[in-house]
Structure 1
Amino acid sequence: MTAHIKTVELNHIILKFHDYYVVGEILEDVVFDGSKVDEVVEICKQVFKGERFVYISDRKNNYNVNPVMYFDLIHVKNLAGIAIVSQRFEALKIANFEKQFSPVPFKIFTDMEQAATWAKSVL
């Protein structure tokens, strides 16, 4: 894993930016919907400035994601992939369901280091 170069903290997510990926940790009990996704996408566009990147979701907390929001990610041209990282069985099960909605490569991991290695391979 590379050292992160920038951290952005919002009221619903903490984003840690690295050279070619961003790690997002959605906060406990958040309902992660379209408007929150749009906000994260805008920040990623500013930081990565058109360069391809991978979004890694660090699923430490319990929260709700509307899987339909994945359809809108088709418009994020520099999003090269999505990785989900968790050691909680329930979170992995939910991620496996979400996978079918993703328009980009989508992989599930139990280890952050493996996710970062995969992110580099996708690019």
Structure 2
Amino acid sequence: MITSYNFYFCYIEIHEDYVKAVMKEGITVSPEHNDVLLQIVEKHYKNIPFVYITHRINSYAVDPTIYLETAKISNMVGFAVVSEDPKQKIQIKLEKTFFNKEFKQFDTLELALKWKDDMIKKYRD
């Protein structure tokens, strides 16, 4: 891990080629939160391909329209959601329709990280 941030709405870890976010209990992820992501990307990943991994261990809501802007981040090569919750899996299917890049759900962080490695390699090849 390179560094981390603890915001009022989430905890974010910055790694060499991925961001890992854990949203806080009870929030609704909205466009204002996306602005924070954009600042972090600009600071740590300028022109560097990366994958965003959200580890959904807490209960919270997502405004799926945020993905319309998130998908515009040119060097974000994939978006992974880690959750075993059946309700989350249904929600993720809806969220995916708003994102026009690779968007996958995984039951474990280890599987998401393997996919991240594949996505980064695919981007660089």
Q: After superposition, where does 1:1-123 map in structure 2 within 5 Å?
A: 4-123=1-120
TM superposition shift of 1:120: 1.2
Q: How many residues align?
A: 120
Amino acid corresponding to residue 91 of structure 1 in structure 2? Q
Gap runs ≥5 in structure 1: none
1:103 aligned counterpart, secondary structure: coil
Q: TM-score, normalised by structure 1?
A: 0.92
Structure 1 residue 10: Cα displacement? 0.5
| 1:101 counterpart SS class | coil
Letter in 1 for 2:110: E
Distance 1:39 1:5 in 2: 18
**Using the alignment, how far apart are the partners of 2:117 and 2:42 within structure 1?**
18
1:51 alignment partner, SS class: coil
| Identical-pair percentage | 27
| Distance in 1, Cα, partners of 2:28 & 2:42 | 22
> Residue 50 of structure 1: CA displacement?
2.1
- Helix, strand or coil for the counterpart of 2:92? helix
Hey, which bits of structure 1, 4+ residues long, moved more than 6 A? none
The separation in 2 between residues aligned to 1:100 and 1:75, in whole angstroms, is: 15
Deviation at 1:74, TM superposition (A): 3.1
Equivalent AA in structure 2 for residue 112 of structure 1: L
